[in-house]
Amino acid sequence: MTRQYLHTNEQKQDMCLKIIRSLRHHDTFTVRMVAQATGLGSMIDAKFVRLLQDIGSVHAVHRKGSQVYYAFDDRAASKVRAHFSSLAEKPTPVAKARMTVVKEKASRPKSRTRPFEPGFGWSFINEIDAMLREVRRGMPTMQ
């Protein structure tokens, strides 16, 4: 089974109409029957059944365990066409970019008065640095 990606509203409308055409002759249907009719996975078909239910062209009839049985409305295809045609008419609003001007100045970061613990200061670091320099150069350590 190859993957199909349905990006545009036209593709989604075609898939919804295909579901309606292929299962209209049944009194009730399940998501598994939709998956067999369309050839897509049951997860994608469950989303399409939920979409059809939100549109109002499909309604849940009854449940048997975890299985939900659905039925089509009498005007299912016309409701789908009306829904997707109303989506096509609405242009998507684009927000204008705004430039924000910061009027406050950022506070200066606080510096620690004692960056090291007592006894661990610059003299100690310089002493260790001098010892490392002597080791690198091959000189004996001076105490």
pLDDT tens-digit map of 89-123: 656 677 777 777 777 777 777 766 655 565 666 77
The pLDDT value given to residue 69: 92
Hey, what are 120's tokens? 């661990």
User: 6 Cβ partners below 8 Å, 6+ apart?
Assistant: 12, 15, 44
Indicate the pLDDT class of residue 141, thresholds 50, 70 and 90: low
Place of tokens 């075609």: 14
Place of tokens 């200066």: 108
What type of residue sits at position 40? Answer: L
Q: Stretch 124-141: mean pLDDT, rounded?
A: 79
User: 16 Cβ partners below 8 Å, 6+ apart?
Assistant: 48, 51, 52, 55, 57, 80, 84
Instruction: Note the pTM of the prediction, 2 decimals.
Output: 0.55
